């Protein structure tokens, strides 16, 4: 959970909203007027990876629609308790890439900091849903250790803040981390991977924008939007100051069965991202994490969909279709 030391009434609006998130399938389904879908087994399926959905994200779903593509991403399913061949707890080889202090080094020149286990939403397909987050903390001592470790890695020119979700950290913790990173002379770029603005646009407060833009690092925010319905008017408004501040906005999506596996949805998603000032970056093939098998799409269908996307979209709106293979030197292009 996000550490909140002050009373709730003094906390920013986004943290209060986070406290109001749905934490059970029963409450979420009742809110969507889908009570009939609830079964006790759903709570059992979510035991190891609890339900968490912000009200904003729930409000983007269609009421009374059991097949809503946003609901599908967050509603637990009985199949999550079944073992499935080829599916594992660490499909991207995160454990093997750990170098200490919550830093992963997979690719040349880049280091990824696992900042916090917290997220504002729990996506059922998440490749880190079983990751054993070490209890490294999110205070000064930890960030000093991160900076010291980065100093010992002279090839690193880009630091990626990941998690969990790095924007689940409050601004003072985040500022402290960013300040420490700026003291490492060979780091030039700061990249933030976050889904939080999509599910809670209020997170993009003015002081967050100045925190990210008033330092010597070139800043890139990589959002995670899977479906055009996630691109809300409030997100568009909240992104305005980031666009003005010259922060590069990119998107990575995961190709998910029943969510965004149609040509129509992909075209709408990538065009709408552009209207929001966000460039499509990656379209990930599902990482085979235990519990997520229902999101898998056959390779033949994936390739056909991508060919059709390439035929319909200008090159700059076509995300790179990639697959992550543990131990590989880069993400592998597909199709």
Shortest distance, position 185 Cβ to ligand SF4, whole Å: 30
Shortest distance, position 162 Cβ to ligand SF4, whole Å: 8
d(CA 327, CA 138): 28
Helix residue ranges per DSSP H, the chain: 13-19, 25-31, 40-45, 55-59, 69-74, 94-97, 140-151, 171-182, 196-199, 206-213, 233-244, 263-275, 299-312
Which residues, listed in sequence order, are joined to residue 22 by a DSSP beta bridge? Answer: 53
Q: In this complex, which beta carbon is closest to ligand SF4, that of residue 34 or of residue 74?
A: 74
Q: In this complex, which beta carbon is closest to ligand SF4, that of residue 57 or of residue 313?
A: 57
Q: In this complex, which beta carbon is closest to ligand SF4, that of residue 177 or of residue 254?
A: 254
Shortest distance, position 244 Cβ to ligand SF4, whole Å: 26
Shortest distance, position 312 Cβ to ligand SF4, whole Å: 27
Q: In this complex, which beta carbon is closest to ligand SF4, that of residue 160 or of residue 184?
A: 160
Pairing outcome for strands 279-285 and 248-255: parallel
Contacts 24+ apart (CB under 8 A), 270-277: 270/309, 270/313, 270/317, 270/318, 270/319, 271/313, 271/317, 272/228, 272/231, 273/225, 273/231, 273/317, 274/317, 275/236, 276/231, 276/235, 276/236, 276/239, 276/249, 277/239, 277/243, 277/249
Shortest distance, position 273 Cβ to ligand SF4, whole Å: 17
Shortest distance, position 211 Cβ to ligand SF4, whole Å: 20
Pairing outcome for strands 248-255 and 218-223: parallel
Q: Which residue has the tokens 């319905």?
A: 229
Shortest distance, position 155 Cβ to ligand SF4, whole Å: 26
Work out the number of other CB atoms within 10 angstroms of the CB of residue 99: 13
Q: In this complex, which beta carbon is closest to ligand SF4, that of residue 1 or of residue 85?
A: 1
Q: In this complex, which beta carbon is closest to ligand SF4, that of residue 164 or of residue 280?
A: 164
Q: What dihedral angle (degrees, nearest 10) is formed by the CA atoms of 79, 302, 317, 188?
A: 70
Pairing outcome for strands 98-100 and 103-104: antiparallel
Q: In this complex, which beta carbon is closest to ligand SF4, that of residue 92 or of residue 147?
A: 92
Q: In this complex, which beta carbon is closest to ligand SF4, that of residue 129 or of residue 271?
A: 129
CB 246 within 8 Å of CB 213: yes
Shortest distance, position 103 Cβ to ligand SF4, whole Å: 17
Using CB under 6 A as the criterion, which residues of the chain lie in contact with ligand SF4 when the complex forms? 119, 121-123, 126, 128, 163-165, 195, 224
Nearest-CA neighbor of 283 among 256, 307, 262?
256
């Amino acid at each position: 959970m996000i550490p909140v030391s002050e009373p709730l009434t003094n906390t920013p609006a986004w943290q209060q909203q986070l406290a109001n998130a749905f934490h059970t399938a029963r409450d979420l389904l009742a809110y969507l007027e889908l009570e009939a879908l609830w079964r006790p087994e759903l709570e059992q399926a979510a035991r190891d990876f609890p339900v968490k959905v912000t009200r904003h994200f729930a409000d983007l779903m269609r009421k009374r629609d059991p097949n809503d593509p946003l609901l599908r991403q967050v509603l637990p399913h009985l199949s999550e308790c079944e073992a499935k061949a080829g599916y594992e707890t660490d499909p991207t080889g995160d454990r093997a890439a750990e170098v200490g202090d919550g830093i992963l080094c997979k690719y040349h020149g880049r280091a990824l900091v696992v900042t916090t286990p917290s997220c504002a939403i729990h996506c059922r397909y998440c490749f880190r849903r079983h990751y054993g987050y070490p209890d490294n903390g999110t205070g000064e001592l930890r960030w000093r250790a991160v900076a010291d470790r980065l100093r010992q890695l002279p090839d690193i020119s880009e630091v990626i803040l990941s998690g969990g979700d790095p924007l689940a950290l409050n601004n003072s913790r985040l500022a402290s981390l960013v300040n420490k990173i700026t003291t490492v002379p060979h780091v030039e770029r700061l990249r933030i991977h976050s889904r939080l603005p999509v599910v809670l646009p209020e997170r993009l407060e003015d002081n967050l924008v100045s925190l990210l833009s008033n330092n010597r690092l070139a800043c890139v925010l990589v959002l995670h939007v899977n479906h055009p319905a996630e691109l809300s008017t409030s997100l568009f408004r909240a992104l305005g100051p980031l666009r003005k501040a010259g922060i590069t906005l990119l998107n990575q999506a995961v190709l998910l069965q029943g969510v965004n596996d149609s040509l129509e949805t992909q075209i709408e998603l990538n065009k709408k991202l552009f209207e929001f000032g966000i460039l499509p970056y990656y379209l990930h093939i599902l990482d085979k994490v235990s519990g997520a098998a229902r999101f898998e799409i056959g390779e033949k269908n994936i390739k056909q969909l991508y060919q059709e996307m390439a035929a319909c979209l200008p090159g700059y709106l076509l995300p790179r279709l990639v697959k992550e293979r543990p131990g590989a030197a880069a993400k592998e292009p597909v199709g």
